[in-house]
Amino acid sequence: IEQRPYDLVLMDCQMPEMDGFEATRAIRERERSEKLPRLIIIALTANAMRGDAESCLAAGMDDYLAKPIRKQLLAQALEKW
């Protein structure tokens, strides 16, 4: 995202080395420090437990989708944003 602009990012929450929560916080910090426009970040996670969506939103993500991804829900999220 530092090399080219994106309209939206689908953020995997369970990435190795830097998870999606840490990556989102880094993106939001960069946006604040460089006064950049907000990038829409949709969480993708295999965690579908109570509180998981709230954790994603608290980390700075804009929306949340649980895996396995259902085409209709992905299409709705993309349409929304």
- pLDDT tens, position by position, 46-80: 867 677 888 899 999 999 999 889 999 999 999 99
SS3 string, the chain, reads CCCCCCCEEEEECCCCCCCHHHHHHHHHHHHHHHCCCCCEEEEEECCCCCCHHHHHHHCCCCEEEECCCCHHHHHHHHHHC
Q: State residue 59's pLDDT score.
A: 93
